[in-house]
Amino acid sequence: MGHTVNLRLGFFSYLDGAGSPAEIYRNVTDLFIRADALGIDVGWLAQHHFGDHGGLPSPFVFFGSIAAQTSRIGLGTAVITLALENPVRVAEDAAVLEILHPGRLQLGVGTGFATDPVLAAFDKGGQDKRALFDASVTRMREVFAGAKLNEQDDLLFPEAEELNTRIWEAPGSPPRVIEAAKRGSGLLLSRIAIGVSDRLTDDVQRELVDAYYSALPADVEPRIALSRTVYPSSDPEATYTTLAEGLRKGVRPRNGVPSPYERCSTEELFELFSVHYGEPESVIDSLRREPLLDEVTDLICQLSPGAPTHTQALDALHLLATEVGPGLGWSARKLST
């Protein structure tokens, strides 16, 4: 049976792995160009600072280059670490991208990895990242809506009120999901639920989805994006190896803190972390068993925790668009502007 809503298909990258930053940026640019030609709806990128957890501190700069080399693919941030940013400057950067490439930006924001040392590097040491985020997302929305910026009555230039309909948030608890839903934001669901290691990700995210629908204003269309490891491959054996290595690396003790998954078998890790891999037909069958798939509007596919070569990543992207997506009822379509 196909998907019950008009599913949008996306892919996600941390812009990390082997190679220099220049090589990685070129390879990810190549992925966007190929995804654009295949009709994939959105390419999502993470923002991380100082090379920790990912390799892109400046998504808007990168998207400016990507947009000039593609024609229709959506450009998604998952997420801008808004707790570290000046919301007026974020609004200005987003507005310039919007005026140059209308309708393509999907503006995901969150607290991200705003650790105490990172906060200190941005002159926000000792402050609560959630309080910083709450103030910034409220201010950014006001700016997009045309609020006066100062006593001189300055306004956002260029105007970009439409971007308020394309903001996404990534809250991790039902109360914060309710706040995001009341603002009319889309809901970004992470690949795994962070900070709730004693519970399955699907169970945690079921509560988040229910909270979102309970609080979303009646006149706002729901937008829920489910991120999962989705790795279709022409060589399932090699894919299994790279995913198993990535999973094992991810559950090692970090900074002396033990992982609750350290003693799990590899097979248990594949199940716990909702990994969908192998021949396209196997991936389709596996995804059909995802409890939330029929309730979301977007599926964001990532190869993490695998570490594929660029050739393997291109192969996975091709199979995603030509076999896995269509097997779930997805079809390529033009982006409306």
Mean pLDDT lowest for which of 68-77, 83-92, 271-280, 318-327? 271-280
* pLDDT, average across residues 221-246: 96
Mean pLDDT lowest for which of 135-144, 170-179, 261-270? 261-270
Give the confidence band of 272 by pLDDT, cuts at 50, 70, 90: confident
User: What pLDDT was estimated at residue 84?
Assistant: 98
Averaged pLDDT score across all residues of the chain: 94
User: What pLDDT was estimated at residue 5?
Assistant: 58
User: What pLDDT was estimated at residue 1?
Assistant: 34
Q: For 157, what's the count of Cα atoms within 13 Å in the CB-facing half-sphere?
A: 3
Q: What is the pLDDT of residues 46-98, one digit of tens each?
A: 999 999 789 999 999 999 999 999 999 999 999 999 999 999 999 999 999 99
User: What pLDDT was estimated at residue 4?
Assistant: 46
Q: Which domains does the chain have, with CATH numbers?
A: 8-237+275-327 (3.20.20.30)
Residues 6+ apart with CB under 8 A from 264: 251, 272
* pLDDT, average across residues 198-211: 91
326 vs 4, more confident: 326
**DSSP state, 197?**
T
